Amino acid sequence: MLATAFFGFQTKTTITGLRDNLKTTTEHLQTTQKTLAKTQDDLKASQAETASEKQRADAATADAAAAKADAQAKADQIKDVQAKLDAANAQVADLTGKMGNATPGAGGSGDEVARLNDELKKAQTQIAELEQVKTTLENKSKAAESEATDLRQKEQRRQSGLMRPGLEGQVLAVNPGWNFIVLSLGDRQGAVMNAEMLVVRGNERIAKVRITSVEPSTSVADIVPGTTAHGARVQPGDRVIFPGS
């Protein structure tokens, strides 16, 4: 009877432990399923954003080319007006010299000089306006080129798996059962797949993690086995740093 009672007690304890383990495992599974669902949604959003960024990069490149062409056209127009202005200046100087040497009663030259001076003023005004338009177009071209370059570099980093050294973020959540964490760094901040980052708390190195999924503003990373400091655990609020390759 004692043996039977002891066996029954052990069985009950084992069943209770299995139920607790099942409950814990079920909770971890539910958490992981929610995380996976969110990751899939974020991945779709990231893919859509990537396509949108490529379109913006192409549009920015086209805008830069158009602005550069417009600026060149204005520069050519300025050259043409400047040539006419130089010719008019030469005519004014020539007529002024003739007027100085003209005998009294010689008419017509004064009116010609006045007409040329009026043309000079108009040409100078036109040049000033064209210079302003040219400067505006050049600034627009530089801004468009800069935007296109930034977008192309971002896309290249994503495709080649490069991440900026010194990139820093925070641990937002930790799932110890499945050994992964959620980071505050996403595609917008420059996070890329398979990059390894250090988890630190103050001046203490806690662990190393590897990014396994990147969303627009967050990412999921696995804790690299064997890299967690003795007696330490990754916690929300810990910093993550990418030291470089």
pLDDT in tens, 222-236: 999 999 999 999 999
Interatomic CA distance for residues 103 and 117, integer angstroms: 22
> What spatial distance separates the first Cα and last Cα of the chain, rounded to whole Å?
68
* The amino acid at 227: T
Interatomic CA distance for residues 156 and 158, integer angstroms: 5
pLDDT tens for each residue of 87-137: 666 666 665 555 555 444 445 556 776 777 777 777 777 777 777 777 777
Backbone angles phi, psi at 179, to 5 degrees: 60, 35
Helices marked H in the chain: 2-101, 109-160
Distance of alpha carbon 138 from its chain centroid, rounded?
Answer: 22
Q: What is the mean pLDDT of the chain?
A: 75
Interatomic CA distance for residues 99 and 113, integer angstroms: 9
